[in-house]
Structure 1
Amino acid sequence: MNRVKKIIAILLLLASAAHAQFSRPWLIDTKNIRTDSLLWDLKELSSAPQFRWVDQAGPVRSLLYQSVDYEGKPTEVFAYYSNPDIIAGKPGGKQKFPGLVLIHGGGGKAFREWVEKWAREGYAAIAMDLSGNGPDGQKVAHPGPEQSNDNKFQKIEQGNLRDVWSYHAVASSILAHSLLLSFPEIDPIRTGVTGISWGGYLTCIVASLDNRFIAAAPVYGCAYYIESDVFKEPLNALSFNGRKLWIRHFDPASYLRYAKPFMYFINGNKDKHYNVGPYKKTCDLADNKQVCIIPDMPHSHKDGWAPVEIRTFFDGALNGNPRPFLSFSAVTVRDNQVVAVLKPVAGKQLASAEFYYTNDTTSDNEHRVWQHHPATYHPDIQSITYPVPKEGFKYAFIYLKDSDGVSGTTMFLQDGKVN
């Protein structure tokens, strides 16, 4: 009898320990982030920030939460929040929702309609303003840095790296995740992050540092800013030391090798700000990823959150559909053919396949000339082929659409030649 009591006591103790482990704040695991110069205190950012509701009426709520100091002073961040119950006007129940952190780009703000879009699609979502503004465009009482080129680049010359806009934007995005995880309606093992343009750049860093995310979808934004047609200019305007510091501390290339979430990179082939060369190199850095190249994709916030592929990705990564896309198990160039082998996906049918390529190495990325032609589908061996053009190609990709209108692509291919 005493032995039985001891076993029960041990089981109760283990259950208590397991419950304590589950109920403690979800912490970022830093053991795999091997750098001696990390600016962010990830343990501190793992804790939910203090916050207060500004408006709890209507389908989208608003709040202010505390963020890291700027120029020695505390700051606060304005954000919108909603979830499927709130958007439907229902009282909160016991259902747990997947959560998303939404990061705006240059000239952006906390987009109410972006939150509403995701809440209607079954997600709890938070979108914050990363320029120190409230809902009316006026400064909050304790703002962080404005999203200006000076704060993004020139500020680094003043010596305090933690006053650079990117430091604050990354910290505020991670804190938004910590706040989201503190809400009882959030399923803590089903959270993701997506951002557009500069928000895509931030998504690359945030997802690399915050391994509590399961999935991340950077739109447009990538690493290797010094190779961008646009961003190399403000970087080259810095001193040699300033440029070196910025690349070391604020370029996503310094962090993407640590990324644990499933990464979904989505961009166009002619984006003005994030060109093919550095984009391909960025995608190569992440181990667990999928790439979607949408031909001639426009660059804006609304164009950045519009693609159905982003919803399809998160539905797959966070809601249990393991293979929502037509995708490839292998892509090779052999015997003067580009050969792409399709992964079988139940219920997915190929509607079209095209081969895009360019040999234009003199134009900037926005004006680069691309050719595209139908590719050949071989249903018996589940593959797509296209003959390598006689002039070869500098960059290329295969672009698919399934019968539901959802895109699937290869990564960018580079330097294909006829043998």
Structure 2
Amino acid sequence: MIRVYSLFLLFIFVSCGINTGKKIHKIDVDKFQDSEILWNLDSLSNSPAFSWIDSTSSVRSLAYESVSFEGKPTRVFAYYSNPDLLQGKETENSFPAVVLVHGGGGKAFKEWVEKWAADGYAAIAMDLGGKDGSGKPLFMAGPDQTHENKFTIIQKGDLKNVWSYHAVASIILAHSFILSRPEVDAERTCLTGISWGGYLTCIVAGLDDRFKAAVPVYGCGYYDESDAFGKPLSELTPFYEKQWMEYFDPSVYLPFAKPALLFIDGNKDYFYNIVPYYKTYNLPENCHKNICLTPNMRHGHREGWRPIEIRYFFESVVNGGVPLPKIEELKRTQSSVSAGFNSFAGLRSARFYYSSDTTSTNANRVWFDLAATINQDKREISCDMPDADFKYAFFYATDNREVSVSSPIYIKL
């Protein structure tokens, strides 16, 4: 029986072939020499063994091999497409690519892949909960997205059984798979994820320097300070809470980030508080970064992939597009608040958002806002001081393409 099972696995993963003849792009591991990294990044740099489940549709499906869970090999389900597949034609075009990472309760979204393929990208979206395209458990699946697998399983003593370990590995392997595709330009790959997917995007951006751009939506580091996730972490024993933060919090990995980063969140998000978000944004120092703190942004998968800023940001990095506006840190005097800016497309509107509410949860914090003045010649946004005691604030501005960004979050410590 064991021999039959082994032969079956061999058929699944080798029948399609692994070697595409394309150069293997390795992750630079030298920067981690003084750090303890759980993942074997050299191994994850190799394209995984895989088999097509559907190799004829405009959005195809596959299963690829990932890291072992509880001592057993695992597979991950994914959707893949590109502009040629979507249009049913064959060209020798070379496309930029994007890896799409769902959040809690999510799945491999076929329509998300379709959207990006229509926008000119090769795209892959994997399921990080051990399911197939119909939502059924996948044969040889890894851990599901349960509370136990995300948090309490760490107390069983094997860090490599924690869901985050598997999710990160599966994302990097999806990147390695897409890098091996002959139609993909390996110098133009991007990453975006939503909620828990944003959390994972922050970790992967610090680990996988082969990405040129990454956009975490909602997700950030300092999970022990989260209104939502601080509680399950505090329910672990102190030793394991500390261990979870040391191995699975994005704050450990973002200082290593090389891809250009765009952070997107809402100012009243329940799961990701602006205080740890402010700290997270300040972590990367060796890459270009920007931020769009969106007033009253709703939390959800479709809300998370809807912002046009994601595509404009990717286009600016991998396709030579016009960059997003960039607003500098807020400056305050006794009578005014201001911030410098740079915008190739000009700014159409700007508002100043502020709050002195330090007692409410992030989702219930009371904010006020007022119109700001745009001085195009001085490249400055400003307004009169609305409240000398405000504790949180940011400018939010929109350019003539309807692309919006914010200033970095101001917090009076």
1:344-355 matches, cutoff 5 A: 344-345=343-344, 348-355=345-352
Q: Is 1:402 aligned with 2:399?
A: yes
CA distance in structure 1 between the partners assigned to 2:207 and 2:248 by the alignment: 12
> Per-residue CA shift, 1:145-175, capped at 9, x if unaligned?
0001110000000000000000000000000
Equivalent in 363, 366, 369 of residue 366 of structure 1: 363
CA distance in structure 2 between the partners assigned to 1:331 and 1:96 by the alignment: 41
Q: Write the letter of the residue equivalent to 1:149.
A: H
Match of 1:293 in 2: 293
Match of 2:315 in 1: 315
1:127 is displaced (CA, Å) by 0.1
CA contact (8 A) 1:46 1:175 kept: yes
Q: Write the letter of the residue equivalent to 1:317.
A: V
1:34 is displaced (CA, Å) by 4.1
Q: Write the letter of the residue equivalent to 1:359.
A: S
CA distance in structure 2 between the partners assigned to 1:233 and 1:330 by the alignment: 32
CA contact (8 A) 2:96 2:121 kept: yes
Match of 1:14 in 2: none
CA distance in structure 2 between the partners assigned to 1:25 and 1:210 by the alignment: 14
Q: Write the letter of the residue equivalent to 2:393.
A: A
Match of 2:236 in 1: 238
Unaligned regions of 5+ residues in structure 2, if any? 1-20
> Per-residue CA shift, 1:335-360, capped at 9, x if unaligned?
54222112141xx1322110000111
CA distance in structure 2 between the partners assigned to 1:350 and 1:210 by the alignment: 34
Question: CA 1:146/1:324 → structure 2, altered by over 3 Å: closer, same or farther?
Answer: same
1:217 is displaced (CA, Å) by 0.3
Q: Write the letter of the residue equivalent to 1:324.
A: P
1:76-225 matches, cutoff 5 A: 76-91=75-90, 93-225=91-223
1:48-59 matches, cutoff 5 A: 48-59=47-58
SS at match of 1:43: helix
Q: Is 1:253 aligned with 2:251?
A: yes
SS at match of 1:380: coil
SS at match of 1:138: coil
CA distance in structure 2 between the partners assigned to 1:209 and 1:354 by the alignment: 36
1:326 is displaced (CA, Å) by 2.1
TM-score, normalised by the number of residues in structure 1 = 0.91
Unaligned regions of 5+ residues in structure 1, if any? 1-21
1:94 is displaced (CA, Å) by 1.5
Match of 2:276 in 1: 278
SS at match of 1:144: coil
CA distance in structure 1 between the partners assigned to 2:278 and 2:136 by the alignment: 38
TM-score, normalised by the number of residues in structure 2 = 0.92
Q: Write the letter of the residue equivalent to 1:158.
A: K
Question: CA 1:335/1:391 → structure 2, altered by over 3 Å: closer, same or farther?
Answer: closer
Q: Which has the larger radius of gyration?
A: 1
CA contact (8 A) 1:48 1:175 kept: yes
Aligned residue pair count? 391
Q: Is 1:411 aligned with 2:412?
A: no
CA distance in structure 1 between the partners assigned to 2:35 and 2:366 by the alignment: 43
1:372 is displaced (CA, Å) by 0.4
Q: Is 1:390 aligned with 2:383?
A: no
CA distance in structure 1 between the partners assigned to 2:127 and 2:377 by the alignment: 51
Question: CA 1:276/1:154 → structure 2, altered by over 3 Å: closer, same or farther?
Answer: same
CA contact (8 A) 1:392 1:415 kept: no
- RMSD, matched Cα: 1.4
1:405 is displaced (CA, Å) by 1.5
CA distance in structure 2 between the partners assigned to 1:394 and 1:262 by the alignment: 29
CA distance in structure 2 between the partners assigned to 1:293 and 1:102 by the alignment: 21
Equivalent in 216, 221, 226 of residue 228 of structure 1: 226
CA contact (8 A) 1:104 1:199 kept: yes
Q: Is 1:40 aligned with 2:39?
A: yes
CA contact (8 A) 1:99 1:190 kept: yes
CA distance in structure 2 between the partners assigned to 1:382 and 1:38 by the alignment: 43
CA distance in structure 2 between the partners assigned to 1:351 and 1:247 by the alignment: 42
1:330 is displaced (CA, Å) by 5.4
CA distance in structure 1 between the partners assigned to 2:387 and 2:292 by the alignment: 26
CA distance in structure 2 between the partners assigned to 1:201 and 1:357 by the alignment: 26
1:23 is displaced (CA, Å) by 5.1
SS at match of 2:412: strand
1:378 is displaced (CA, Å) by 1.7
Equivalent in 373, 376, 395 of residue 376 of structure 1: 373
SS at match of 2:360: coil
Match of 1:61 in 2: 60
Match of 2:17 in 1: none
